[in-house]
Amino acid sequence: MRTIKIAIMAAAVACVSSFSTFAQTAEEVIKKHIDAIGGEAAWKKVNSIKMEGSINYSGTEVPVTVYMKHKKAMKAEFSYAGMTGYTILTDKAGWVYLPFGGQTKPEPMTEDDVKKSQEDLDVQGKLIDYKAKGFTVTFLGKDDVEGTECFKIKVVSPAKKEETMYFDATNFYHIRSTSKVDMNGKEVEMTQTYSNFKKLPEGIVWAMNQDSGNGPMTVKSVEINKTIEDAVFAPKN
């Protein structure tokens, strides 16, 4: 009888242990995440991305196109009612153009904003070679995102920008980020949510649904390493 009890206890312990094997480190979680989204090698080959999709506002689809050239430039362009607005950030400057309310010419970003935003030009993502890039990471245990158990990691950039990233504990996809941004002396909290992960022909995994608080965006196509002319990043109206 004693043997049975021990066996049951052992089984119970094994079962319980399987629920609590999350003695993870930030490094381990990030490695599993990178493996889950295609691996470091595949991501290191990414030099440009063109993503097309749309944001749904009350049933109206607003087309969005995002162009990114690794460490050089990015542009998010959206069109509505025959007008096209954009945000452009390059390694030297940036502009915002929103003609929908009557803006007549692109407004340049402040030098400080351009400087602080440079890390956004890393199309391979901050977690690829994060140590070499100067990011520090802290494992903050488990937390839930709308009921989904996640690993929570705080990432601090060399420019001291902080982002808290949530990785789905079952598949290690990055499903949410929260960050606080200092906007001209004001602290603004931002949340980005990712879902609908698809593997692209290049081997990397991409979130086909993204939401940065402006409405859910559905990604229709992603082109990797196709030539993007520099002229795309010139401010025009």
Partner 1 sequence: MKKVVLLSLSAICAIAVQAQTKINSYTFGAKEARWLGPGTMSGRITAIEGVANDGKTLYIGTAGGGIWKSTNAGASFKPIFDKYCMSIGCIAVDQSNPATVFAGTGESNMRNSVSIGDGLYMSSDAGDNWTKVGLDSTEHIAKIAIDPQNSQNIFVAVPGPLWSDSKHRGLYKSTDGGKTWNKILYVNEKTGCADVLVDPSDPQTIFASMWEFRRFPYAFSSGGKSSGMYKSTDGGRTWKEIKEGLPAKPFGRIAMALAPSAPKNMLAIVESKETGLYISSDGGETWKSQSATMNVVSRPFYFSCLVVDPKDPKRVYRPGYGFSYSDDGGHSFSDASYEGGWVHSDHHALWINPKYTNQMYLGTDGGVYHSLDRGATWMFAYNLPVGQFYHVACDNKTPYNMYGGLQDNGSWMAPSEAPGGVNNSNWTSLYGGDGFWTVPDGADNNVAYAESQGGNIGRIDLKNFKSVDVAPQKVAGDEKLRWNWNTPIVVGQSNKHNLYTGAQYLYKTTNQGRTWNKISGDLTTNDKKKQQQEESGGLSEDNTSAENHCTIFTICESPLDENIVWVGTDDGNLQVTFDGGKTWTNCAKNCAAAGIANQAWVSSIEASLYDKNTAYATFDNHMYGDMATYLAVTHDGGKTWQRINSTEFTGFAHKIKEDVKNRNLLFLGTERGLFCTIDGGESWFRMKNHVPDYSIVRDIQIQPQTNDLVFATHGRGIMVINDISSIRAITKDIADKEVYVFEHPPMPITTGKYGGGGSPVSGGWWGGNPDDIAPIEYYLKDRANEDVKVEIYDANKNLVQSFPGSKRKGLNRVYWNMRMKPPKTATGGTKADYGSFIAPMVLPGNYVVKVKVGEKEYTTPLKMVHDESNKLFNEDDRKTQFDAGMKIYHMHEELAALVDKINTDQKMIKTALDSTVGAKSKKWLNDYYNKLEELRNTLLASKHKSIFADEKKLREEITELYSAVVNVESRPSNLQLQKLDVLTDDLKKGKDSYEKIDGEYKAAAPKVISDGKGNKGTQRVGGQ
Which tokens is 14 given?
A: 């094994």
Residues in contact with partner 1 by the rule CB under 8 A: 3-4, 7-8, 11-12, 15, 19, 56-60, 80-83, 99-104, 140, 144-148, 154, 162, 164, 168, 171, 173, 175, 186-187, 195-197, 208-209, 216, 218
In contact, 59 and 73? CB cutoff 8 Å: no
CB of 68 to partner 1, least distance (A): 23
Nearer to partner 1 by C-beta: 41 or 100? 100
Q: Which residues contact 176 (CB under 8 A, 6 or more apart)?
A: 145, 150, 165, 166, 191, 192, 193, 194
Which residues in the chain belong to E strands, given as ranges? 48-57, 60-69, 73-80, 83-90, 94-97, 107-108, 136-145, 148-156, 162-168, 174-183, 186-199, 205-211, 216-224
CB of 45 to partner 1, least distance (A): 25
CB of 230 to partner 1, least distance (A): 24
Nearer to partner 1 by C-beta: 32 or 154? 154
CB of 91 to partner 1, least distance (A): 30
Nearer to partner 1 by C-beta: 9 or 41? 9
Nearer to partner 1 by C-beta: 120 or 162? 162
